[in-house]
Chain A
Amino acid sequence: MTTLNPAGWRPEMTPERRAKAATHSGNKALMLEEPLIFEIGSTETTGVDLAEPPAGKPRLGNLERTATIGLPGLAEPETVRHYTRLSRQNYAIDLGVFPLGSCTMKHNPRLNEKMARLPGFADVHPLQPVDTVQGALAVIQELAVWLIELTGMYGVAMSPKAGAHGELCGILCIKAALEARGEGHRKVILVPESAHGTNPATAAFAGYSVEDIPATADGRVDLAALKARLGPDVAAVMITNPNTCGLFERDMRAISDAVHAVGGYVYCDGANFNAIVGRVRPGDLGIDAMHINLHKTFSTPHGGGGPGSGPVVLSEALSPYGPLPFVAKQADGHFQLVEEETVGEDHPHSFGRMVAFHGQMGMFTRALTYILSHGADGLRQVAEDAVLNANYVLRSLDKTMTAPFGEAGPCMHEALFSDANLAEGFTTIDVAKGLIDEGYHPMTVYFPLVVHGAMLVEPTETESKAGLDAFIDALRSVVERAKAGDHSLKSAPHYAPRSRLDETLAARKPVLVWKEPEAAQAAE
C-alpha cells in the first residue's frame, strides 16, 4: 500500500458490518445484487433462434474473424431484468432532490413529454419536404423569438446541441467577426476564475490562448485586473453570469464596455440563466453571445435522461456570422429553411454549419411547451423561486457550514459552502458520501476551484419547502458528524449497492475491459 495522504480518505468498510448485512444471495430484500452482463450470460448460448446463414462465398479476404466474438447470449427476459435491476440502483430527479450545483437538475414537466410525443413532432424526418413540416418549423421559429425576447438579443442560432457546443458556436462567430474586420491576429481569450470549466476548454479548442482573470474576495470578477489585461491582442472575454460561486456579476455592464472599448467581444456562459430569466436581459448588459441550456433553464431532460440543447443568442454585431441552417418566416407566413442552397444574399457571412440538421427538435418542443405553459410572468417566478430556494438553503446552513461568500449578501440560484470547519482529516468527499446514505444525490463537490473543498448546492425552483427542509436536515446531520469526527463517515456510503470505492486505485489502475476471471488473474 502507498503512503496515505492524511487529508484524504480511505475505504474503512469493516468486515463486521459486511457480515451483519450478509444474505445468502447477496440481495437485500427488494434491493437486488446484479452481476455484470458478461457474468450472467454464457458466450455459448444465444437468446434468439436464428437459422444458420446460407453458405456463401466469403468476401472479406483475410479479414474474417476467426475467434469467437465473446458476447454473452441472454434471453429477452434475462436482458430486460438485467437493465431494470441496474436502473433501480440509479438516482434520478424523479426519485428525489438532485442538488447538483451548476447542473440545474429540476423537474421535467410531463406536459413537455406529452407535447414532444405528438406524432406531428415526434415522427417527422429532417429530410422531409419543408411544406410537410411547417408546424415543426413554426415551433423552432416561435422558440427562437421567445429566446431573443427573453435575452434582449438580436439573433439566435438554434442548432448547437448542448452548452459547450453553443460556446464553440459563439466563439466561432466571434472569430468570423474578427477575421471580417481584419483582426484575426487577436489570439487571447480572457476567462475569469469564476467561469465554467468548459469556457477555457472551448477557447483553447477554437485555437485561442487562454488567460485567467482572478476573482475578488467576494467571489466576483476582479474588474481592475480585467481592465489591466485588456489590449489589442484580446479577442474576447468569456464570463459565466451568474457565476459558479452562485453570484451575479454586478459589474457586467462595465466589463462589457471595457472589452468593447478595446475592440473585443463578450461571451456569456448562460448555463445559469435560470436564475435571471424574466428579470435580466443579457442584451442590456452588452453581451455579444450567450448560449442557453434548454436542458437547464427550460426544463428539458438531461443527465442521462435526454440530450442537451444549446441555442446561442447573438448581438447585432455577431448575428451576420451565425451558423446555417436556420428557419425564416416569409412575408406570406410560410416557413423556410435557410441552408447553403437557399442562403442567397441574405446571410453571406455565416461561418458555416455545425450540425447535419436543425438542432434538437424534441428539446425545442419541450422547451417551447415549458415557456408557453409558464408564460412571461411564470418564467419570472421561476427565477425568483430558484433564487429564493437557494438562499433558504444558504441561510438554513450557514451556521453549521462555512459559506465563504455568505457575508457578501444573497446568492443567486446556488449556495456555495467550503470544508473549512470540518474536523481534522474530514473533507468534502465524506460529506458527499454521507449524503448518499441519507438517500440524496450529493451536491457538486470540489468545484468551483476558487473555494477549498467546495460544496455547491442548487436546489432549483421545483423543490417544495418541505422537500428542502428534509434535505437541509439531512445535510446538516451529515456535516455535524463530519465536524464531530464520526469515523463511520469515512467509509460511507454504507447502504448504497457498493460502499466507498477506492477512487485512487481506480484512477491509477483502471480496468476498462471485462476479461474472463482466469484471464484477468493471469494478467495481474
Chain B
Amino acid sequence: MSRYFTEDHEWVDVDGDIGTVGISEYAQSQLGDIVFVEVPDEGKDVTKGDEAAVVESVKAASDVYSPVSGTVIEGNSDLADNPALVNEDPEGDGWFFKLTLSDASELEGLMDETAYAAFVAKL
C-alpha cells in the first residue's frame, strides 16, 4: 500500500484500485479543533481536484478536494458524531472517504511522504 499527498494537504492510501482519502497532520494542526465534517455519499462520482468533503473548525470552514478521480464507496460515518477524530488521528481513524480509482495514472502527479514533508517544511 502506498500513500500519496497533495499540495492541498489531502492524503490518499492506495490498495489495489481502492483509495482511502483524508487530510494530513499538518492540515489538522492548521485548522485547529474540528467541529464538523461532511463526507460524500456512497456512489458519488468525483473528479480529481473536485470538492468532495467539507471540514469546519472553530477558525474556518474548508473544502477537501479529491486527490484522485473515482467513485465513492464509503464515507467515514464516525466523523459525524466525533469530528475530533480528525484532530486525534488525521492520517488513520480520521479518514474521510474511500473510493475506487478510475485512473491510477493520476497518482503520478502526487507527492510521496518524503516529498510532502519537504513541501510542508517550506510553508
Contact = CB atoms under 8 A, between A and B. Distances in A.
Interface of A: 2-3, 5-8, 429, 446, 449, 503-504, 507-508
User: Chain A's interface: helix, strand, loop or mixed, by majority?
Assistant: loop
Interface string B8-49: 000000000000000000001110110110000000000000
Contacts of A2: 33, 84, 87-88
Nearest to A7: B29
B36 A5 contact: no
Contacts of A7: 29-30, 32
B35 A5 contact: no
Given A3-B87, A6-B29, A7-B30, A504 B35 contact: yes
Interface string B76-93: 000000011001100000
Interface in B54-77: 56, 58-60
B14 to A, nearest CB: 27
A503 B33 CA distance: 9
Given A2-B87, A508-B84, A8 B33 contact: yes
A228 B60 CA distance: 29
Given A446-B60, A503-B58, A508 B32 contact: no
B62 to A, nearest CB: 9
22 contacts: A2-B33, A2-B84, A2-B87, A3-B84, A3-B88, A5-B28, A5-B29, A7-B29, A7-B30, A7-B32, A8-B32, A8-B58, A446-B60, A503-B33, A503-B58, A504-B33, A507-B33, A507-B35, A507-B36, A507-B56, A508-B83, A508-B84
Contact of A446 (B29, B59, B83, B84): B59
Contact of B33 (A5, A446, A449): A5
A508 B33 CA distance: 10
B25 to A, nearest CB: 11
Contacts of B30: 7
Contacts of B83: 508
B35 A449 contact: no
A241 B19 CA distance: 43
A2 B88 CA distance: 7
Range, interface on chain B: 10 to 19
Top 4 A-B residue pairs of the complex, sorted by shortest distance between their CB atoms:
A507-B35, A504-B33, A2-B84, A3-B88
Nearest to B84: A2
A102 to B, nearest CB: 16
A5 B60 contact: no
Given A449-B60, A507-B36, 12 more contacts: A5-B32, A6-B29, A7-B30, A7-B32, A8-B58, A446-B60, A503-B33, A503-B58, A504-B58, A507-B35, A507-B58, A508-B84
Contacts of A449: 60
A5 B35 CA distance: 13
Q: Which of A3, A5, A8, A504: most chain B Cβ within 10 A?
A: A5
A449 B88 CA distance: 24
A465 B59 CA distance: 32
A507 B33 CA distance: 10
Contacts of A429: 59
A122 to B, nearest CB: 41
A449 B31 CA distance: 12
A7 B87 CA distance: 12
Contacts of B60: 446, 449
Which interface residue of B33, B84, B88 has the most chain A CB atoms within 10 A? B33
Contacts of A446: 59-60
Contacts of B35: 504, 507-508
A8 B59 CA distance: 10
Contacts of B88: 2-3
A382 to B, nearest CB: 33
A446 B31 CA distance: 11
A285 to B, nearest CB: 31
Nearest to A510: B35
A517 B56 CA distance: 30
Nearest to A197: B61
A427 to B, nearest CB: 8
A444 B35 CA distance: 21
A504 B87 CA distance: 12
Contacts of A3: 84, 87-88
Nearest to B32: A8
B79 to A, nearest CB: 12
Nearest to B81: A508
Contacts of B29: 5-7
Nearest to B33: A504
A4 B57 CA distance: 13
A7 B28 CA distance: 10
A501 to B, nearest CB: 11
Which of B32, B56, B58, B84 is most buried by chain A, counting CB atoms within 10 A of its CB? Answer: B58
A303 B32 CA distance: 28
Contacts of A6: 29
Contacts of B84: 2-3, 508
A504 B56 CA distance: 11
Nearest to B59: A446
Nearest to A446: B59
Nearest to A453: B59
A449 B61 CA distance: 10
A2 B87 CA distance: 9
Contacts of A503: 33, 58
Contacts of B58: 8, 503-504, 507
